[in-house]
């Protein structure tokens, strides 16, 4: 029985050390939902999700990192001269009681210099940093669907 208890404790320790999977993740008053990644060959990926601020204070997503990519940036897409243009952002504001969708045709996370192939079913670890809520590590499943 002691061996079984030790095995369960080790298994739970391992599970608790893994990034949160694509279920809703909560860090302080920020709820992160609908997380998934899309491979953009040859060495890029786009990560999409919804961020909801359930608190009473404005927060900002101020940083994103991943050990599988050289750079991780917040991007916005807008029309300029009839063409879509992508620009890097330093932060995304999350107002109290509001949600912000990160989608392929507006705000999104862009990873460049991806260091390994991202086939459907792979998991992409990301650390998100919020100005108020702090940091959390999540896992974005790579899917083959189109946004």
Between CA 96 and CA 11 the distance in angstroms is: 37
Peptide bond preceding 42: is omega within 30 degrees of 0, i.e. cis?
yes
Query: Which pLDDT value is given to residue 10?
Result: 37
pTM for the model: 0.81
The pLDDT value given to residue 80: 87
Q: How many residues in total does the chain contain?
A: 147
- Mean pLDDT, range 120-142, rounded to an integer: 95
**Does pLDDT of 4 surpass 50?**
no
pLDDT of 104 strictly over 70: yes
Q: Mean pLDDT score of the chain, rounded to an integer?
A: 86
What is the chain's Cα-based Rg? 17
Q: What is the pLDDT of residues 11-51, one digit of tens each?
A: 334 334 344 444 799 999 999 999 999 998 889 999 999 99
| Dist CA 108 CA 78 (whole Å) | 12
Confidence category of residue 147, pLDDT binned at 50, 70, 90: low
Long-range contact set of residues 86-94: C-beta below 8 Å, sequence gap at least 24: 86/110, 90/62, 91/60, 91/61, 91/62, 91/131, 92/51, 92/60, 92/61, 93/58, 93/60, 94/30, 94/51, 94/52, 94/53, 94/58, 94/59, 94/60, 94/61, 94/130
């Amino acid at each position: 029985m002691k061996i079984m208890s030790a095995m369960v404790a080790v298994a739970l320790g391992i599970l608790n050390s893994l990034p949160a999977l694509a279920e809703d993740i909560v860090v302080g008053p920020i709820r992160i939902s609908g997380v998934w990644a899309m491979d953009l060959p040859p060495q890029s990926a786009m990560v999409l999700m919804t961020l909801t601020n359930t608190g009473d204070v404005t927060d900002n997503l101020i940083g994103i990192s991943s050990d599988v990519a050289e750079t991780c940036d917040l991007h916005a897409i807008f029309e300029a001269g009839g063409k879509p243009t992508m620009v890097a952002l330093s932060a995304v504001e999350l107002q109290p009681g509001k949600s912000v969708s990160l989608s392929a045709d507006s705000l999104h996370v862009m990873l460049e210099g991806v260091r390994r192939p991202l086939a459907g079913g792979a998991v992409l670890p990301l650390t998100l940093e919020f100005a108020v809520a702090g940091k959390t590590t999540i896992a974005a499943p790579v899917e083959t669907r189109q946004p």
